[in-house]
């Protein structure tokens, strides 16, 4: 058996083929992160041997097209959590191109821990949609939080009394934003007042976007995984995280393997 480690990047992917029985490096290659590069990788790997396992560092946005091409060609593809590669990377340090060193480290991390302990890559279009929407909503919420904090600082300068009356963590509530907007219209024109007004508008827009995304996620989950929403305490956001992060959990051989890949396996402590 040959394990091919893949260190993925935006423009290129570095590959390293390692013999599973001896740990010997059989070959290295760098391919373009395009369809033609994927075909070249398959031809190169199949010239090395018939029994292949592809080990790809788990960077979904960068590895998506390579994974899809390999799975479509009938190849066995494993996802390797980056946190498991530290020991292998240190063992591979030597003069040379760092991408190839990392590709070797990925392959040897799989050999060190055992091929059967890693989950196979699994393509689930619905789960991918849910994960993307969930991640996008998180980005919207982070931006809204940042703007809310800046608006409170501006309000502290413009109208300390009004700022003191706004409860903590409620500045982005529609009623509070309307109150601030009305008060800003009576303030003397200045750059800070203009910025505060823009912040109120943007926070309002981001709040609507976040709620729209939450509704979209809820509708997707109701359509494809309604049983999750039936669980006590599991709303659309919790369900979206579970689906997006654990799609194809059946590919794990045991609950313990799944916990290890998710980073929640128990550890020994005194």
Q: Give per-residue pLDDT as tens, 114-162.
A: 888 787 777 777 888 898 899 999 999 999 999 999 999 999 999 999 9
Residue 151 to residue 172: CA distance in whole angstroms: 9
If you average pLDDT over residues 174-180, what whole number do you get? Answer: 94
- For residue 268, the model assigns a pLDDT of 77
Residue 19 to residue 87: CA distance in whole angstroms: 19
- For residue 94, the model assigns a pLDDT of 53
Other CB atoms closer than 10 Å to residue 174's CB: what's the count?
11
Q: Note if the pTM is more than 0.85.
A: no
Q: What is the DSSP letter of 122?
A: -
């Amino acid at each position: 058996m040959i394990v091919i480690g893949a260190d993925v990047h935006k423009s290129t992917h570095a590959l390293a083929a390692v013999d599973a029985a001896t740990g010997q490096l059989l070959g290295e290659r760098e391919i373009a992160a395009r369809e033609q590069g994927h075909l070249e990788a398959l031809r190169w790997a199949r010239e090395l041997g018939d029994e292949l396992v592809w080990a790809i560092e788990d960077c979904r946005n960068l590895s998506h097209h390579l994974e899809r091409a390999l799975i479509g060609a009938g190849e066995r593809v494993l996802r390797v959590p980056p946190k498991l590669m530290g020991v292998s990377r240190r063992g591979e340090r030597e003069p040379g191109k760092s991408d190839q060193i990392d590709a070797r480290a990925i392959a040897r991390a799989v050999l060190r821990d055992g091929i059967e302990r890693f989950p196979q890559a699994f393509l689930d279009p619905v789960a991918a949609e849910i994960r993307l929407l969930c991640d996008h909503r998180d980005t919207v919420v982070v931006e809204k939080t940042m703007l809310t904090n800046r608006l409170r600082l501006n309000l502290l300068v413009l109208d300390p009394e009004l700022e003191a009356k706004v409860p903590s963590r409620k500045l982005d509530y529609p009623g509070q934003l309307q109150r601030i907007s009305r008060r800003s219209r009576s303030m003397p024109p200045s750059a800070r007042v203009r910025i505060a007004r823009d912040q109120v508008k943007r926070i309002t827009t981001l709040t609507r976007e976040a709620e729209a995304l939450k509704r979209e996620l809820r509708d997707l989950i109701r359509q494809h995984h309604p049983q999750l929403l039936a669980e006590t305490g599991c709303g659309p956001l919790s369900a979206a995280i579970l689906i997006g992060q654990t799609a194809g959990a059946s590919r794990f051989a045991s609950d313990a393997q799944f916990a290890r890949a998710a980073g929640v396996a128990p550890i020994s402590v005194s």
